[in-house]
Structure 1
Amino acid sequence: MTFQLKQLFHREGDTLPVDYEIPPQALSQIRGYRFDQPVHVTGTFRNRAGIVTLDLTVDCVLTAECDRCLELFVRPYSFSFTHTVVLSVNRDNDEYIVAQDAQLDVDEVAVTDLLLQLPTKLLCREDCKGLCMHCGCNLNTSSCDCQGGLA
């Protein structure tokens, strides 16, 4: 969702609320993660003393296959972020979000922030035992008598 920020940049003390959802179809191209429910984005743009900040919370429910036992699981995640928004920068600077023509696509910011925070190793639970290396049984739900299950 694109937000028009021109007035916000010119009026100190002004705020602009952010509250919308990114549909799962818009996230279908993301590899390694599956979103079966919309990603909820909430927050506020604020102009304090001429400095515009974006406080953002991104909530999602991730459906994933455990990297150890291969079982599907569903887990909610919630992350908060704060960004300084500027109209332009003189040189490359990752500390600021640039609002070209006083517009900002918050989808891009929210999805990038979310992907940088999600774990790269997805486990159904912290103590997942995984699969037996010899017979392939799920060691979380059963035990085996082969050499691989004894370790």
Structure 2
Amino acid sequence: MIVSAEDALERVEQLILLTDRLTSLVAGQAKAFEARRPHEAATYVEETQRLANIYRHESARIRANPALVDSAPREQRMRLIRATEAFDAVLARQSRAVNAAKTVTEGLVRAIAEEVATQRHRGVSYGADGTQSPTAAATAITLNKRA
């Protein structure tokens, strides 16, 4: 979907449709994350990215030239504003859901890494003289605390 309108009314109508579709897609992704099924959120990633790029492009065009929508009827412009507000709310919801999933995932990875590290410290090896010495701690998991 590319917004190619003849007049402001048609442009606003297309933007409303675009915004409503994006809102629906992002809401579905948020629900999937909230239900702890991120694999389901991936179903529409490609379409969401494509539509988000169009939305970003059209939003920038309108910010640069408000006349593109100014002559549309006030009722239509208000519908677009309400659609945009709903989209913003869904984006905030998705952000919270993604951050929660990220926190849980990082906690799991950290717990697993710590358990692996403690298990490795229990190892004992024998030196050349036959005495036991603890093995050096070696782990196969790398943690990036900035991620």
Q: Which has the higher helix share?
A: 2
TM-score above 0.5: no
Larger RCO of the pair (alpha carbons < 8 Å, separation 6+): 2
TM-score by length of 2: 0.27
TM-score by length of 1: 0.26
User: Which one has the largest radius of gyration?
Assistant: 2
Q: Which has the higher strand share?
A: 1
